[in-house]
Amino acid sequence: MKGFVSVSETIFVQLKELALQPPPATLSEEGSLLAGALSTGLCYIHRTTKAFPAISPRVLVVAASKDVSHQYVPIMNSIFSAQRQNIPVDACVLEP
C-alpha cells in the first residue's frame, strides 16, 4: 500500500505544478499529442501485462489544451483499443 501512496502523492504534486504553469501563448497547428501519448501508453501496458498478468492497468489522461478536430480519429482508435483490452481510461480536463 505504501507504493500506491507515493505514486498518488507524485501525481498530485505534478498536477499542481502543471496547473500553476502559464498557458502557452499559442498552440501549434498540430494541437495536442494526446493520440500518440495514449497509443504509446497502451503499448507499454500491453507489454507489461504480458510479463505480469496479475496487474490491473488503468490510464489517466490529463488534457490541458483544446481539442483539435483532425486528432479525433486517432484518439478514438486508441480509446477503442483500450476498450478491447478492458483498460479503463479516466480523463481530467483542465480548461484555461
Q: What is the DSSP string of 31-63?
A: ---HHHHHHHHHHHHHHHHHH-TT----EEEEE
Which three cell numbers, joined as nine digits, stand for 27? 498552440
pLDDT, tens only, 21-37? 776 655 555 567 888 99
Asked whether the whole model's pTM tops 0.95, one would answer no
pLDDT, tens only, 61-78? 888 777 778 888 999 999
Mean pLDDT of 84-95: 89
